[in-house]
């Protein structure tokens, strides 16, 4: 499951990697970078793409045979070191209710040729405890 910045509180701190994606694709199309060097996704990412990815209508920019799928991985407090692949909107909602902050990485992957690229990084801001009245900060 992927999500947009509009689903997040504040939406500050979003990092978009579409320009880097476009530049890389252009280099491949020009023959300056080999397809083999960009179609090297980890087998676990491709497995997740085939089984959990959110289908898109965007053709793979490298093989142009199938549409890419989107995957969202969240990293942060209490999650495994390798992150957690988010498959339901309720998982994000649950993280937003915690007092911790997380980072969500949206990746596109081609299940056919193993192209992959990080599209954007979004903050998942947890709920902050309300400050007590009369409390002062030093």
Q: pTM of whole model > 0.85?
A: no
CA distance 42 to 116: 9
Note whether 109 and 61 are within 8 A (CB).
no
DSSP, collapsed to helix, strand or coil, labels residue 62 as coil
pLDDT band at 1 (very low <50, low <70, confident <90, very high): low
pLDDT band at 90 (very low <50, low <70, confident <90, very high): confident
Instruction: Record the tokens describing residue 63, joined without a space.
Output: 């093989």
Per-residue pLDDT tens for 107-129? 999 999 999 999 999 998 877 66
Per-residue pLDDT tens for 22-78? 999 999 999 999 999 999 999 999 999 999 999 999 999 999 999 999 999 999 988
């Amino acid at each position: 499951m992927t999500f947009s910045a509009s689903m997040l509180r504040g939406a500050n701190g979003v990092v978009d990697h579409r320009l880097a994606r476009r530049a890389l694709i252009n280099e491949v199309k020009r023959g300056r970078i080999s397809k083999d060097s960009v179609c090297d996704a980890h087998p676990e990412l491709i497995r997740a793409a085939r089984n959990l990815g959110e289908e898109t209508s965007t053709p793979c920019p490298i093989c142009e045979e199938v549409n890419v799928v989107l995957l969202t991985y969240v990293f942060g407090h209490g999650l495994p070191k390798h992150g957690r692949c988010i498959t339901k909107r309720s998982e994000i909602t649950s993280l937003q209710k915690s007092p911790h902050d997380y980072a969500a990485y949206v990746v596109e992957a081609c299940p056919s040729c193993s192209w992959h690229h990080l599209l954007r990084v979004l903050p998942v801001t947890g709920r902050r405890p309300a400050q007590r009245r009369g409390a002062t900060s030093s």
